[in-house]
Homo-oligomer: A and B are copies of this chain.
Amino acid sequence: MNERDALRRLAADLPHAGDDAAVVGDTVITTDMLHERTDFPPGTTRYTAGWRAVGASLSDVAAMGARATAAVAVYADDVFDPDQLDRFVAGAVDVCEAVDAEYVGGDLDSHGEFTTASTAIGAVTDAGPVTRSGAAAGDALCVTGEWGRSAAALRLFERGDDAAVERANDLFRLAPRVADGVALAGRATAMMDSSDGLARSLHQLAEASEVGFALDRDRLPVHPAVDDVAEGPADRFELAAHFGEDFELVCAVPEGDLDDAREGCPSGLARVGTVVDAAEGVTADGDPLADRGYTHG
């Protein structure tokens, strides 16, 4: 059973699953585990790891259109190096501050491999939470920010020289789109974050909302770092649309709300296509877009 099937199974029995975070009253809550082998390539600093682990959870809060309030994390390693731990906590504190949330501590554990489990909570706005299931044909398909950061970072980590690794760390420290998510609450009809990549996110939104998506490839904002590492246009699109881990928001917004939504989003909100009928499926420039992305280990 792969992770997706397992998650689906887990979701079937639970009251609030299938969205980026669970909703309990006015609170949203989400948890994620990351570990060295699959999530932190050689060269990733502990500061970056703390930022990114907690940032991934804050991104899930953002995807619900909620204000992030706090985060906790478990830090597990085979030995406790106090400096490494301090750096991890500094990264966790800083990413929380970047979105006006508080990092309030966590737990320590010993483990053969550096592993972290982070949990974030948030407060639903008066507009209510945004789920994955409300997109309607005719809505504009929109995304925040620029795509392919993490894919570019991975290539830079692989390159391995100091300058490349430093830049890769910068790229790996996503800014969770909490302010954008809050601006989109009450405007977006469906939303999620792009942890599994744009293509896979569109398929997930399509399934939850029972719609299709027509993506216009040229409209997708691609991060400048991608151009520095991509081997031609096909690779460029692959990195931007399939790799994932960019933690940008993907959402559907009714045409009439588009200007207000765009104005409210500090990270930018690009219209990259249109919500269509389910029968039309998920396409990019008219061709089927494969439900393929980064499979988390």
Report which A residues bind B (CB closer than 8 A): 1-3, 6-7, 9-11, 13-17, 22-25, 27, 29-35, 38, 69-70, 72-76, 80-82, 85-86, 89, 93, 102-113, 115, 117, 119, 121, 296-297
A261 to B105, CA, bound (A): 30
Q: Identify the closest chain B residue to A56 (Cβ).
A: B107
A3 to B74, CA, bound (A): 12
Report the minimal beta-carbon distance from A112 to chain B, rounded to whole angstroms: 6
Report yes or no: B27 in contact with A69, Cβ–Cβ below 8 A. yes
Report yes or no: A121 in contact with B35, Cβ–Cβ below 8 A. no
A87 to B171, CA, bound (A): 40
Nearest first, the 4 A-B pairs at minimum CB distance are: A117-B117, A22-B104, A119-B119, A33-B109
Report yes or no: B107 in contact with A32, Cβ–Cβ below 8 A. yes
A242 to B89, CA, bound (A): 31
Within the complex, which residue of B10, B15, B29, B89 is in contact with A108, where a contact is CB–CB below 8 Å? Answer: B10
Report yes or no: A74 in contact with B117, Cβ–Cβ below 8 A. yes
Contacts of A110 in B (CB 8 A): 3, 38, 297
Report yes or no: A13 in contact with B121, Cβ–Cβ below 8 A. no
Contacts of A15 in B (CB 8 A): 102, 104
A74 to B102, CA, bound (A): 22
Report the minimal beta-carbon distance from A8 to chain B, rounded to whole angstroms: 10
Report yes or no: B31 in contact with A74, Cβ–Cβ below 8 A. yes
A252 to B252, CA, bound (A): 54
Within the complex, which residue of B13, B75, B82, B86 is in contact with A89, where a contact is CB–CB below 8 Å? Answer: B13
